[in-house]
Amino acid sequence: MNAPRRRAPRRVLVATLLALVASLAAALGTWGVASAHAELISTSPTSGAVLTASPTQIVLTFSEHVDPLPDSIRLVAGDGAAVAIGSMSQDLGDDTVSASVPTLADGTYVVAWRAISADSHPVAGAYTFSVGAPSSTDPNLVSNLLSSNEPGRPAEAWLAVGRWTSYLGIAALLGAVWVLGAAWPAGLRTRRATSLLAVAAVTGLVGTAVMISAQAAVNVDSVTSWGEVVRTQAGRWWLVRLIVLAVASVVVVLLRRFLRRTTPWMTVSWLGGIGLLAIVAAGGHAISGRWVAVGLAVTVAHLAAMAVWFGGLAGLALVVPRQRLVRAATSFSPVALGSVVVLATTGTINAWRQSGSWSDLVHSRYGTWLIVKLVLVVAVLAVAAASRWAVHQAITEDTPRVLRRTVVAEVIGILVVLGATAGLTNSPPPRAAALAPASANVVQGTRIAQIVLSPPVTGGTVMHVYLSDTGGSLNVPTAITVSATLPSQNIGPLELPVIPEGPGHVISNDAELPLSGTWTFTITARYSEFDQTVFTTKLAVR
């Protein structure tokens, strides 16, 4: 008779561990592909430019705030020799990074750049320009510089682990305090509550420390260089989060000894908790995209709702004794339902704020993770409905046991939802991505063609085409034509009118691409009556 009940905790433990693994796997699923949220929108000198005189500085302008790193701009000559330049500066604005340049000899140069977005994501890239005339360059120089700018894969993995762990601890800490304080105030003085809150606070603290160390490895390849992280906007908020969680870890241990009147403690916990969630929001997506003030408020509400839902369920499952479980669950049921409504509403607002259109949302990695999260939330809601149904049925001897099982199942489901949330955090908002230029490079023998669409959208866009030669030949094309086809819709070829902008450089200020999709661009460069090179490449247009 009792054997099934002895095995139940083991099954619950196994299911919880599996949920933790699945949730962590979801967070890790984006670390190798997470794109940065700030995008490079203009450079000086421009990519592919052939200058008559040496530039005095290099200027990079991004779509939003960025924080420079010690090597945010590197200048390399065509033979691979590094060129000493001035220190990084943001005198022109927080979305611009610049550095002074010494007088350069004639030839081709590569600019390798990297920076940190306001929401902590790294950005990196490289481009070429020439002074006087192009010179011979190593064909692998640009790709090698790009590879050297890429964050280490272990560091990115640990960053995802840190984010997930930090979310988990903060949600359990705040939600358990808030819900237990309202539904069963005396429960906050129990040993079980103290253990749960202490573990949650330390979990959030350790997760945040892992985030900072991993970000230091991403920024400067050293897990101990926290100073380089704290110099960034997101890093400063992460440090504040770490300090608040350290204080919270001490407070929850002393809570049982000094808690006599619940009301003052609950007021402090609500004010402090909302402040902590605002700190979390300020170090992430809330400060990117449009309507930043709205985004910050909505994100705080979203995090608070998740904390109430998850932390409240954790408190019910791990702290409330069996004889009080039905009463506490009955009190918590409408609160949980309200939290879900707030989650759905705030999630919808944030999705619209970060997306340029419905098409941009559903065709982006951000949108994919949002859909995954919504499906998981619906599944957890089904379990929650079963839980509420159990609460409102006639109470029998088995009701607390059945109710605890459904609560535990709901907690396990939310663990996986938190994994999807970490995946969402690691993905670039589609609105930022939609504003960024798209480019492609094609090599035919020793000749290179680059096409840039700024932005890659229908209804008219600016198109640049650059032609260069890896061998340093001074031979530039006498004529450049560009056509585009959309094979999926049997459209084209459409001739895109271009005008000369410089040696080997043409531009179209209003390239009309009528439909979204993957367009095939054909660039024909004529060098003489008997010398012609055709380049073909594809770009996605929204």
Dist CA 447 CA 469 (whole Å):
5
Dist CA 89 CA 189 (whole Å):
53
Dist CA 160 CA 29 (whole Å):
9
Residue 167: is its pLDDT beyond 70?
yes
Residue 430: is its pLDDT beyond 80?
no
C-alpha dihedral sign at 287, 288, 291, 294: negative
Q: What DSSP assignment string belongs to 54-121?
A: --SEEEEEESS-EEEEEEEEEEEETTS-EE--PPPB-TT-TTEEEEE-PPPPSEEEEEEEEEEETTS-
Across 10-14, 173-177, 343-347, least confident range: 10-14
Note the pLDDT of residue 88.
81
Mean pLDDT (whole number) for 97-125? 83
Residues of the chain with pLDDT > 90, as a percent, come to 10
Mean pLDDT (whole number) for 513-522? 83
Mean pLDDT (whole number) for 453-462? 76
Note the pLDDT of residue 170.
93
Q: Which residues contact 117 (CB under 8 A, 6 or more apart)?
A: 36, 37, 38, 64, 65, 66, 123, 234, 288
Tens digits of per-residue pLDDT, 25-75?
444 444 433 344 566 777 888 877 888 899 999 998 887 788 888 778 889
Dist CA 410 CA 398 (whole Å):
19
Q: Which domains does the chain have, with CATH numbers?
A: 3-30+153-432 (no CATH), 40-146 (2.60.40.1220), 438-541 (2.60.40.3340)
Note the pLDDT of residue 523.
93
In this prediction, residue 407 has a pLDDT band, given cuts at 50, 70 and 90, of low
Mean pLDDT (whole number) for 459-488? 79
Mean pLDDT (whole number) for 79-98? 82
Residue 107: is its pLDDT beyond 60?
yes
Nearest to 234 by CA among 432, 434, 33, 38: 38
C-alpha neighbours within 13 Å on the C-beta side of residue 501 = 18
Mean pLDDT (whole number) for 253-275? 76
Residue 434: is its pLDDT beyond 60?
no
In this prediction, residue 239 has a pLDDT band, given cuts at 50, 70 and 90, of very high
